[in-house]
Structure 1
Amino acid sequence: MPSFWHGRRVFVTGHTGFKGAWLTMWLSSLGARVTGYALPPPTTPSLYALAETGRLLDAETIADINDAKQLAQSLQSAAPEVVFHLAAQPLVRDSYAMPVETFATNVMGTAHLLEAVRGAPSVRAVIVVTTDKCYENREWVWGYRETDPLGGHDPYSASKAAAEILTAAWRASFFRTGPSIVTARAGNVIGGGDFARDRLLPDFVRAIERGDALEIRNPHAVRPWQFVLDPLQGYIELAERAYGAEAGLDSAWNFGPDESSTCTVGEVIRGFADACAPWAPARISFGASAPQPHEATLLKLDTSKARSQLVWRPRLGLRETLEWTADWYRSYLSGGDLRALTQTQLDRYIARSAER
């Protein structure tokens, strides 16, 4: 893996976001020359700022993914060989408040990115990141496979399903020859540096800061929880294989946790509270106080395809994921060196991922 990425030109959209900042650090650690394209960090504070990931970039453009002209210029200037498309409006509840903007970013933003790639002959592989929520959710106990129908009850989920359909259409229409175009669908990611609103662990950390009880609106909802670096490992492996134009790779890929890490919101927040208890006892209140927008109750992923064809697997179970995440936020709340800690966690994970 490191030898492939050394000196490789990589273009990352959404590099100022939670997953984008972690991905930027990882690619930089592997020796890649990374160019970022994104809006300013979506939160204050942000992992991008706290871990100083901007210093790792060859270049960056702070602009909207829907600025097609600027995007095309930035991509052509970077002349990347690999593109990771993470720029998105990523929150279900925000999509109810701004549905048109959500579709503009998640659907048309993807179209603008793929159009820019058409004008960039240097590109060999494109990884379009969507979500596990792109499936038509039937509230059943089985994990969704890549061949299952797409859908979306809420604007966010529907926009990501539309991005999947759009990517497949561009692949079939414009990329029969040229770069490999693949999509990656991951479950709920956990890790240090996430400060988004209406996300379980960031909300818990904010409750600790305020000294308040955290109200859990849907404690029985089941989600595939995974450490943030687990799907990123999959994206990186997928990009390496796509670069080599491996037959049969141009399709969708699920990245999710082991069955033991697919559990309820209530179980996760209790586990995180236990991990934080030695340094920050917190109170939890279960049950919503007012009607809430629709969110799926039961969601699982079948990752057999990635496990068998990419030989990918998650490296951290849920307990370790919560412990690593609690350690990161403890350092944040105590004013620790987050650049060093983030790099240390990344190095530990890379060492573990080298174990077969």
Structure 2
Amino acid sequence: MVNLVNTIASLRSKRILLTGDTGFKGSWLALWLAEAGAEVYGYALPPLREEDHFNLLGLRNRIDHFDGDIRDRDQLRRFFQQAQPEFVFHLGAQALVRESYQNPKATFDTNIGGSVNLLECVRETPSVKTLIYVTSDKCYRNREWIWGYRENDELGGRDPYSASKAAAEIVFSAYGDSFFASRPNFGYASVRAGNVIGGGDWSSDRIIPDCFRSIYHNKPIVLRHPKSTRPWQYVLEPLSGYLTLAGALTENPKQFSGAWNFGPHGEANRTVKELAQAMIDLWGSGQINVAQQDSDWHEAGLLHLNCDKSHHQLGWRPRWNFERTATETVDWYRAFLEGQSITQKSIEQIQRYTETIYD
């Protein structure tokens, strides 16, 4: 994991293009890269809410951001031509399972068609030397196994979101075999992370923002699937994996190109109800209601990743356990509600996380 520190130091003044920088994970990565002194180019739809992390950080004033849609190939190509990036991190996506049921075509158009546009722009831009292509742990065909999914397990998905991510992986593999494998000194990898939580997430129908909206308004937290188990991890965990992998790809693109999982240790596989209860206990108030199942929409009951490849070949491992993840999440939202500087709070969390690399 000391490789992460070396990678971050090496990114100073590098030209880095990041799709999805207005999103939850994307805004954290944009901040981390900007703090490292990188020249960051962000391309994404405008943030939806005034309180979105991107806005609270004032990222429009820190990076070169363009409001754009990855479904617009011509617009995206012009942005690539302007940025001439050395590194590309592709996080732009429709990232919500329930939204994918309500708007399946938009989900497929964004997660498959938008990803094709991104890959085309990378293919046409000789300056790009490293590509990190973010999909999801839900790209695996979920068989409700008790063991974690490996990178070579079958892809698939019952819901539109999961299916779109599995398809995006197949598209990525085709571009790798057809174009990228023969490209000199070019490293490319798809990355699949477990359920990411932390400060700055305000999306609808996601457990953490739902918890804090309910707690703030003194209403019960309503859980649709309280027994569903997920591999919860703080947002900085997978981002540290992406950055570590980017450094490895730069040094040895042939060895490290391919698919990689980034998930927490097994102890972080907890039920939705256990996570909500942890939020209540740390906040000091709140209650839980279990909703009646009023929909036929399918959501996986059990899902977690096997990260042996990342552990052994990259030297990457998660640093914050479930309790630390829950504590840092509550700490961020408490700071927000108390009117503290979110830029300072977020930078402090990045610094605290980085310090644990040497533990």
TM-score category by the smaller chain? over 0.9
Q: Which residue of 1 aligns with 2:139?
A: 134
Are residues 1:164 and 2:173 paired? no
User: Where in structure 2 are the equivalents of 1:252-271 lying within 5 Å?
Assistant: 252-271=259-278
Determine if contact 1:190/1:225 at 8 Å carries over to the other structure.
yes
Q: Which residue of 2 aligns with 1:189?
A: 196
**SS of residue in 1 equivalent to 2:32:** helix
Are residues 1:103 and 2:108 paired? yes
Are residues 1:302 and 2:306 paired? yes
Change (3 A) 1:331 1:292: farther
Instruction: Indicate which of 8, 11, 28 corresponds to 1:5.
Output: 11
Instruction: Indicate which of 47, 52, 63 corresponds to 2:53.
Output: 47
Are residues 1:209 and 2:216 paired? yes
- Unaligned 5+ residue runs, structure 2? 1-5
Are residues 1:251 and 2:255 paired? no
**SS of residue in 2 equivalent to 1:159:** helix
Instruction: Indicate which of 62, 65, 68 corresponds to 2:70.
Output: 65
Cα distance in 1 between the residues matched to 2:111 and 2:22: 16
Are residues 1:288 and 2:312 paired? no
Cα distance in 2 between the residues matched to 1:333 and 1:52: 18
Determine if contact 1:82/1:125 at 8 Å carries over to the other structure.
yes
Aligned residue type for 1:55: N
Cα distance in 1 between the residues matched to 2:280 and 2:296: 24
Q: Per-residue CA shift, 1:26-61, capped at 9, x if unaligned?
A: 11121211000000014442000112222221x121
Instruction: Indicate which of 78, 85, 88 corresponds to 1:80.
Output: 85
Q: Which residue of 2 aligns with 1:348?
A: 352
Aligned residue type for 1:275: L
> Structure 1 residues 226-235 or 330-339, which shifts more?
330-339
Q: Per-residue CA shift, 1:333-354, capped at 9, x if unaligned?
A: 122211111111111112222x
Aligned residue type for 1:135: Y
Q: Which residue of 2 aligns with 1:321?
A: 325
Q: Which residue of 1 aligns with 2:36?
A: 30
RMSD: 1.2
Determine if contact 2:187/2:254 at 8 Å carries over to the other structure.
no
Aligned residue type for 1:12: L
Determine if contact 1:218/1:288 at 8 Å carries over to the other structure.
no
Paired residues in the alignment total: 351
Q: Per-residue CA shift, 1:299-337, capped at 9, x if unaligned?
A: 010000000011001110010111111011011112221
After TM superposition, give the deviation of residue 209 of structure 1 in Å. Answer: 2.4
Aligned residue type for 2:136: T
Are residues 1:334 and 2:341 paired? no
Change (3 A) 1:212 1:289: farther
Cα distance in 1 between the residues matched to 2:71 and 2:240: 28
> TM-score with structure 1 length normalisation?
0.96
Are residues 1:18 and 2:41 paired? no
Determine if contact 2:188/2:253 at 8 Å carries over to the other structure.
no
> TM-score with structure 2 length normalisation?
0.95
Q: Which residue of 1 aligns with 2:3?
A: none
Aligned residue type for 2:288: I
Q: Per-residue CA shift, 1:184-225, capped at 9, x if unaligned?
A: 000100110000001101001111222211111111101110
Aligned residue type for 2:81: Q
Cα distance in 1 between the residues matched to 2:270 and 2:278: 11
After TM superposition, give the deviation of residue 288 of structure 1 in Å. Answer: 2.8
Determine if contact 1:136/1:152 at 8 Å carries over to the other structure.
yes
User: Where in structure 2 are the equivalents of 1:87-126 lying within 5 Å?
Assistant: 87-126=92-131
Instruction: Indicate which of 311, 315, 323 corresponds to 2:315.
Output: 311
